[in-house]
Structure 1
């Protein structure tokens, strides 16, 4: 499946574009940081309080600050205790006595008070002996630690008029409330941060869905960027047409599908198709992964499902895409222990939201999975997932289309034939072909080329299929000789088995864990296999072991992978395909349906011990029969085996044309292709350039690979 974002223009949405952008929940410009807003309000409050205090201080008259001792000295000059002000009659007494006109006691707290007084004349304050500066005001202030009955009795004896008032200055009130206000604002600040500032990343936003809303403003990809899945595109195109023109279907009584399930192997382009639908439809697109619903807290998954559909309803009509839905959609009742299963609660909520009492009009749910066999039946029924679209592996034509999409911006050499590359990559899906094109481009860039050649694609294909050449692995002459005869045995059996895929290339260059590889190129895509084809493959697999035994009269561990593959293939032929006369067309060993254990962990034995013994006997007889067949082929064509093994020892890699020349007895002058880097990679000495030799790689998947 190929994909590439279009940069020319987006698709116009249905209806009013302006209102659509407001409803889709997409980006609406840079979001303001809530912490900055709270900090701004804190600064405003502090500035207001300071301004209030400054105004209060400015409006108040100038006051002289006295200590309590100075205040008692002032009292002593008002007259004798017990003598009231009216009793002082003579002018001398009046001129020598201090007259306190008014005293107001402001209660600041339980153990704090402020006495504000006023004398008749500012000169009266000059009688205080400890006063440092001459008094210029008749107002004075005294801080009192407390006010008790003894203090009030003393004031009464001196005849001082006093009153009590509560401190009602706005500045003081605000200053007393300010600490509590600051604590409340700090609490709100941390709570908003823990909730992610209203977003989805907060500490307490567990129940919020993590769906990503894709904006319509950015470039969208369409069906033109996808290839190889024409049937799936046709199914999804109808949904897009319904979103654009619903009246066309509603007038005939048609209803929009509620859900579409995309099924297929990994890498076939299921997620890409969902993105194409969003780009073509021009409606809000919400994407989410199945694993995003389930976390460590109980009830989070169900809450996120509810929040997801509420968000979708506000953006209706829209498309909701859930990737890997099998993470939450597995069959219920499969858990062990009988406890609360969070995944089941999430699935139950999803079932209700998709088709419950409430109608989700205009919401289309698209889900993708490569494990449809483990999904709950209630999730697959019509009304929830009305359509199941199979996105299978592409055929030759589809692979060629995918290669055209991926090579759209890649300069290709004239010798590049995409049809030949597509024909030589059976079983490749869109992700594999994308990786193949990328590796070929990197290979061409490594050699400083201006364009990608066919040889780059061949090398990239070999690297993708088998891995990089292990140039550092040095084989002894004996191991190299054994490997050459082993691979020659595979090749000779492949040539003389009529129903096998045509031989394509043989190499004894170590790649990955294989010491050598013999692989073939299918003439066409195959979807079913005959019994003779399976037997031919087993014969080819056993040809390597038989060649070793015939030439060296010993057996090595190099054939372990061949034996494992042959045994597995014969078991499937007997137990699954029913291709033997002894056991008949019966299936033996049903798979265990334990969803909790993955459903493929065990096989349920549904046959007797006698039948098991018969299966083992038939398997052994088939294996031995094909081993004898390989021996007969190699004995008959022993000269071809010797010629091919010697040619492999000399050239290390041979393609089909070269192999056919060798088995006819012709001599190859030079079969090993190589090329060197045109630019300097490493210099040991000035003027000396080291250019490594690169061996071209194979063009098809291997049938037989020998492990170390």
Structure 2
């Protein structure tokens, strides 16, 4: 018997039911076929006329029917008349062979069965369906109460800790669970109890699900996986029934791991639903709480859940005895990114110049999923370029595509728009180079990417876990650099809408400095704004906790920070006017410059690209200009209109 089936072998019961239905239909068909074998029915008067005419060969006389054959071989039947006593004499006179026929056994029962069988079949099917629905709160015909947890085995793809990189601390936290599943007696001898549950907390794409599968792969035990949304249905009680059914399956496969992904879908604070409550979700949560730590012990069942919103979970779900451990799965640092890249690069044929360390340094803030996507994009680029190996150039291009968006080379821009974009991006770059706390420039481009017409990308030299005031002020100045460059070069009336994203970034940064991080001298180190529900460390709505007068001070402080950044950018670009023109001309020529090329240009006035052939497509020249040769010197005067 298969222990994975909660009710023994329910498929055998279903098979027997359908076999019974088939046999009943077969019996009905056989009865009707027997009725039709006697031939078509004729009137008794016609039958006597046929006998008198001598066209009847033989008959069988029964109490309720006469069957016979004509001389031409056709069969017929008729209903006899009991008052007619002259029929035998007529048959004998005409030489018709006749005989009596005994009454069929069960004829009345067969008649009754034929008449009532359709109703019996309908009632039987309805009874069977209702009985199945009642089992386990609906686990049956429509499977409402049946758990949707999927059992993963090695055939589904075994994952071990060798496939997980960059989250060593989280892996060490869960290593104890693996050791317990392998040897439970080792802990029970000393009176220790393994944690009943572990909650994996981290941003999307950091590897929470992969880590849970690795635990199951290392321990070699059954691994049930289900999403939190699979419990919730429109019918009250169905989710609780699914929780019960899931734990019943887990008990039969113990020791095992039950992984609930996105548990916040069912584990939210009770009483915080639409209105005052959500009966279905709260009943499901209550059943989950009881199953995890109630009167009945679930020995050998370890619950692992994942979420990126731990702040919305019910406190009863997080207490010891249910989720004893909260394991943070962070975004990997540079060492972790290098290991993750090495894992994913094993599946890709690499050129000798590929250096995972260099790629890891240029991808700060990337999660494991982002790095996997980066490797995949590089492989796709190499395939489109008909290469046999994936080189470093493909990884650089894939990184630019992931971070800045795909190039929109088909977008047609006028010379004036290109000139405006070139000075805008040059303004960002010049301010960044003159702010000591700013991150180094990685690349500047005026080729439209994604939703932006141009971009200056800065990358930190190392991973940063906190930001200082001087860095924030520098970022504000850099954000204002594009708008200030447009004002200086084109005038107040010609300022474009290209700085909308810069203004949005600067306003948000200044607001956080004032309301969250206590970087306002007038308001002091107090929090005036809190983030409401949103992804871990991302997004969400904000609620201000201040009076009207304080809000006015907050607005004035935000305005002061942005205005000071604007003044700082104006001072830098006024002093560095020659550098601004030089860089803008170079960007009009090349369209894309690296950080090293920008430094070389501003130091020497030239850009050295010895390996660039004339007419290279990347970067392509602006319309009306020629490709500069290696070492071309750019003048510091204004670019021609």
Q: Confirm or deny a common fold (TM above 0.5).
A: yes
Which deviations, in whole Å up to 9, do the C-alpha atoms of 1:392-439 show, x marking residues without a partner? 100111111111111112100001000100111000001111111111
Relative contact order (alpha carbons < 8 A, sep ≥ 6): 1 or 2 greater? 1
Aligned partner of 2:597 among 658, 662, 667: 658
Q: Judge conservation of contact 2:338–2:360 (CA < 8 Å) in 1.
A: yes
Structure 1 CA distance for aligned equivalents of residues 93 and 593 of structure 2: 114
Partner of 1:86: none
1:629 to partner: Cα distance: 1.4
Aligned partner of 1:292 among 215, 225, 230: 230
Per the alignment, do residues 50 and 468 of structure 1 end up closer, same or farther by CA in structure 2, a change over 3 Å counting?
closer
Partner of 1:396: 334
Q: Judge conservation of contact 1:66–1:140 (CA < 8 Å) in 2.
A: no
Q: Judge conservation of contact 1:216–1:283 (CA < 8 Å) in 2.
A: no
Structure 2 CA distance for aligned equivalents of residues 593 and 445 of structure 1: 42
1:186 to partner: Cα distance: 6.0
- Report SS of the residue matched to 1:639: helix
- Give the TM-score taking structure 1 as reference length: 0.74
Aligned partner of 1:176 among 109, 112, 118: 112
Structure 2 CA distance for aligned equivalents of residues 614 and 66 of structure 1: 109
Q: Judge conservation of contact 1:118–1:139 (CA < 8 Å) in 2.
A: no
Per the alignment, do residues 260 and 180 of structure 1 end up closer, same or farther by CA in structure 2, a change over 3 Å counting?
farther
Over the residues paired in the alignment, what is the CA RMSD in angstroms?
A: 4.1
- Report SS of the residue matched to 1:528: coil
Which deviations, in whole Å up to 9, do the C-alpha atoms of 1:464-512 show, x marking residues without a partner? 1122111121111111111111111111111111111111111111111
Per the alignment, do residues 232 and 178 of structure 1 end up closer, same or farther by CA in structure 2, a change over 3 Å counting?
farther
Any residues of structure 2 matched to 1:103-142 within 5 Å, and which?
A: 127-128=89-90, 133-139=94-100
- Report SS of the residue matched to 1:518: strand
Question: Where in structure 1 are there 5+ consecutive unaligned residues?
Answer: 1-18, 59-64, 75-102, 142-166, 677-691, 697-708
Q: Judge conservation of contact 2:243–2:284 (CA < 8 Å) in 1.
A: yes
Structure 1 CA distance for aligned equivalents of residues 104 and 129 of structure 2: 37
Q: Judge conservation of contact 2:309–2:534 (CA < 8 Å) in 1.
A: no
Structure 2 CA distance for aligned equivalents of residues 535 and 177 of structure 1: 92
Aligned partner of 2:503 among 555, 559, 563: 563
1:67 to partner: Cα distance: 4.3
Per the alignment, do residues 117 and 34 of structure 1 end up closer, same or farther by CA in structure 2, a change over 3 Å counting?
farther
Partner of 1:447: 385
* 1:357 pairs with 2:295: yes
Partner of 1:387: 325
* 1:338 pairs with 2:300: no
Deviates more, 1:253-262 or 1:576-585: 576-585
* 1:613 pairs with 2:574: no
Per the alignment, do residues 252 and 224 of structure 1 end up closer, same or farther by CA in structure 2, a change over 3 Å counting?
same
Partner of 1:538: 476
1:37 to partner: Cα distance: 6.1
Partner of 1:513: 451
Structure 2 CA distance for aligned equivalents of residues 425 and 36 of structure 1: 58
Question: Where in structure 2 are there 5+ consecutive unaligned residues?
Answer: 52-60, 66-77, 621-641
Per the alignment, do residues 293 and 492 of structure 1 end up closer, same or farther by CA in structure 2, a change over 3 Å counting?
same
Structure 1 CA distance for aligned equivalents of residues 372 and 33 of structure 2: 73
Partner of 1:635: 574
| Greater radius of gyration (CA) | 1
* 1:326 pairs with 2:264: yes
Structure 2 CA distance for aligned equivalents of residues 621 and 49 of structure 1: 92
- Give the TM-score taking structure 2 as reference length: 0.82
Structure 2 CA distance for aligned equivalents of residues 378 and 459 of structure 1: 48
Per the alignment, do residues 303 and 604 of structure 1 end up closer, same or farther by CA in structure 2, a change over 3 Å counting?
farther
Per the alignment, do residues 577 and 118 of structure 1 end up closer, same or farther by CA in structure 2, a change over 3 Å counting?
same
Partner of 1:462: 400
1:178 to partner: Cα distance: 4.9
- Report SS of the residue matched to 1:619: helix
Q: Judge conservation of contact 1:214–1:284 (CA < 8 Å) in 2.
A: yes
Partner of 1:378: 316
1:440 to partner: Cα distance: 0.4
- Report SS of the residue matched to 1:514: coil
Per the alignment, do residues 403 and 201 of structure 1 end up closer, same or farther by CA in structure 2, a change over 3 Å counting?
farther
Q: Judge conservation of contact 1:126–1:134 (CA < 8 Å) in 2.
A: no
Partner of 2:606: 667
Which deviations, in whole Å up to 9, do the C-alpha atoms of 1:238-271 show, x marking residues without a partner? 1111111000000111112111111000001111
Any residues of structure 2 matched to 1:416-431 within 5 Å, and which?
A: 416-431=354-369
- Report SS of the residue matched to 2:453: strand
Partner of 1:577: 517
Aligned partner of 2:529 among 589, 602, 607: 589
| Number of residue-to-residue matches in the alignment | 590
Structure 2 CA distance for aligned equivalents of residues 588 and 54 of structure 1: 88
Deviates more, 1:462-471 or 1:306-315: 306-315
Q: Judge conservation of contact 1:330–1:375 (CA < 8 Å) in 2.
A: yes
Q: Judge conservation of contact 1:117–1:139 (CA < 8 Å) in 2.
A: no
